Amino acid sequence: MGFSDQRFDVNLSILFTELPLLERPAAAAAAGFTAVELWWPWIETPTPAQTELDALKKALDDAGTRLVGLNFYAGRLPGPDRGALSLPGEESDRFRANIDVAADFAASVGCEALNALYGNRVEGVDAAAQDELALENLVLAARAADRIGATLLIETLNDTESPLYPLVSAPAGVEVVDRVNEATGLGNATFLLDLYHLSMNGEDLSQVIKTYAAKTGHVQIADNPGRGAPGTGSLPLERLLDELTEAGYDGRVGLEYKPGDRPSAEAFDWLPAEHRPAR
């Protein structure tokens, strides 16, 4: 067991960012990875021109990489925003405009999962009203994901880096997952279990795995402190991934860490090359 038994993919929104977007799939392939994921790449618009979507698809195809995970539009990320779907007014409208655009692009590249970041609390807006809006939009997103045979991911962040984001514990994230599934009857909403964010929140990671592995649709990792590669911090990531396997999780593990002060291509020395291709 251990790292060698996992299906890893590389998040191209945090790794290889020293390169233009369209060069990143080839760089990931050169590093030995065949599966990648992305935050929504066009932070200024939920509805990019078809030529931009086509160019990204071509870059993925030419590199021989598969986009297995994609965020819906989430505002300025990286940056102060943490999603759009619970924000009243223009940002919620932008999220809705993005739903079918993101789902159709995901379908065109064989994407398995669409991640919907919840959004920050807004001063002066009732939290219950934000939660009601979020559920409405998540139902739309779940139906779009179901249309293309994908899962919908609900992610928890951490309250140190995202103090206005309401989902900062595994129970809070899973509660939203359950509400969405109850509302749609589709059962395709799942938990995005990010070991870095959960560790930043001080949660018992082994207990979270035991409790929520069955509701987990995707896993992301980075070490803590520092959000670097495995081995740069103190998290027992290899053991935790073993615990996930033992708990029945057999999905993908996204590498969502910072490369540090070195090129991204040099940030994978913890993982032998023969264990990098996704199966």
**Which residues belong to the active site?**
155, 256
Question: DSSP 3-state assignment of 92?
Answer: helix
Residue of 104, 98, 140, 133 lying closest to 119 (CA atoms)? 133
- Tally Cβ neighbours within 10 Å of residue 50: 10
CB 200 within 8 A of CB 169: no
Query: Dihedral sign, CA of 42, 48, 54, 55?
Result: negative
The span from the CA of 277 to the CA of 123, in Å, is 45
CA dist 39 → 9, 61, 82 (Å): 13, 18, 11
- Tally Cβ neighbours within 10 Å of residue 7: 17
**Residue whose tokens read 């001080």:** 202
The span from the CA of 38 to the CA of 220, in Å, is 12
Residue of 162, 23, 129, 138 lying closest to 72 (CA atoms)? 138
CB 176 within 8 A of CB 133: no
Residue of 264, 192, 273 lying closest to 229 (CA atoms)? 264
* CA angle 122–126–128, rounded 5-degree value: 110
Tell me the backbone φ, ψ of residue 145, rounded to 5 degrees.
-65, -40
